[in-house]
Amino acid sequence: MDALAVGFWGAYFGVAAVAFLAAAIPLAQGLPRVALLMAAAPFLNSPYVLAALGGFPGGPDLNLRIQSVTALFNSLALSGLMLLMLRTRGWVWRLWGASVLVVLAVAALSWSLPPRSGMLLATGYATFCTLVALALLFSRRALRHHRLAWLAVASVGSVSLGLVLTAWIAANSPGVPWPAHAVTALVVSAHELCMAFAVWSQFSHLAELRLVRAYGSGYDPVTRMRSLETAGNLINSVFATRGSETVGTIVVTVANLYAFENLHGRAEHNQALFVLATRLRNAVPRGVQMCRLGNDVFLLLLRGETSDRHLLDVALRVHERLSQPLTLGVGERPSEVRVGAHQWVPDFGIGVLAVPPDLNRAAAVNTARGMSRTALAYRSRIARYSAQQGDVLEVALPAAATR
């Protein structure tokens, strides 16, 4: 095989590996069904592709037999997975169950033929099944009005084309030019990406639903944080288990959020809150506990590494992310966000406090909150408490941040 062809197929197996490993994300969030759906496509398709390329030991005939079996099994399994993603009626499942008998008959017939002819028969049947599925997607009762309709079409279409191309490569190997390998690798990679994105788009709300069920009204869906109602429980859980540790406390107060809501309305206020919370979440290290202390106040609690230098580094990263202008629009769809768009710059203050073990939790949070309001009068918008001087000091911004 040409070196360029090896490179393209290596890229495909890299995509398949990433898609397979990405299934660990929903699995860690307690969603095993979603993890199974995400891992199924790369797990099923990779052996088929490897057999089509002659990668199994045992010679060409054995690889053609493996390709025949995997083509039939994958057509059955992937169609079942697609039905699991949708609200499928009972008669459709009964029809799918009947197709299992047809697959077994085709598999028996393909094994009675020579390896090359059996592979072409099995791949031809699998391609026929995908073309039927593609035709059903364009029918009146299909997914035309579903948000994942065109993604399903792209996924099934790439499967059909990929089956044809891989069968042609297996039947004419080793004299296949590298551009054919490149096109085939891109097509099957597109299928892997479409399947992973479709599964996550369909079921990503389940991860948030678990938080809603766990915290109820104590979970804020706009910022995706613990709300004021359960902030006390979060603070108590962090400070109660600190022992002799210092707890890093950072409070962010957004001063102009209330005025922004009065000027532009609730919808734009919610969008601004959503973007601010996302930026805040992306700016802090892993393991930081976050919640809302009010409509315009965010609380960050850090355990472990809570030196003054570390807390100031986190505060500077938060300042850098939140100080960027927000582009807000009136559109209801993501593609319409810039319709009537305008920019808004949040005015915020950051209070930084390393809470020693002997300081009361309520006093610590209130002190940090007061420092964040004091920081609104500072040019840098960051205030910290100096235990050495016993006073609140302004934190100077780096030279690059003041330009």
- Do 183 and 284 reside in the same domain of the chain? no
- Quick one: 58 and 161 in the same domain? yes
Q: Which are the contacts of 403, defined by CB distance < 8 A and separation ≥ 6?
A: none
Q: Is residue 210 part of a domain?
A: no
The answer to the question of residue 211 being in a domain is no
Picking from 237, 236, 228, 247, the residue whose alpha carbon sits closest to that of residue 297 is: 228
> Is residue 334 in a domain?
yes
Q: Give the Cα separation of 312 and 298 in Å (integer).
A: 17
242 shares its domain with 340: yes
Residues β-bridged to residue 253: 297, 349
**Number of domains into which the chain is organized:** 2
Q: Are residues 189 and 267 in the same domain?
A: no
Same domain? For 97 and 172 the reply is yes
Distance CA 336, CA 220 (A): 25
The structure's pTM equals 0.55
Q: Are residues 263 and 337 in the same domain?
A: yes
What residue numbers bound the domain in which 259 lies?
216-402
Domain boundary among 169, 203, 237: 203
Same domain, 181 and 250: no
H or E segment at 251?
Answer: strand 247-254
- Digitized pLDDT (tens) for each residue of the chain, 403 residues in all: 678 888 888 998 998 899 888 888 888 877 787 788 788 888 888 888 888 888 888 888 888 898 888 888 888 777 776 666 555 566 666 777 777 888 888 888 988 899 889 889 988 888 888 887 777 767 655 554 455 667 777 877 888 888 888 888 888 877 788 888 899 899 988 888 888 887 777 676 676 667 666 666 677 777 888 887 788 888 888 888 777 778 889 999 999 988 988 888 888 888 888 889 889 988 888 888 899 888 889 999 988 767 888 889 999 999 999 998 887 764 444 433 444 457 888 999 999 998 887 788 888 899 999 999 999 999 999 998 887 777 888 888 886 555 4
Same structural domain, 243 and 306: yes
Cβ-contact 179, 63 below 8 angstroms: no
Count of Cβ atoms closer than 10 Å to residue 346 Cβ: 20
Residue 173 and residue 230 in one domain: no
| CATH code of residue 275 | 3.30.70.270
Q: How many residues does the chain have?
A: 403
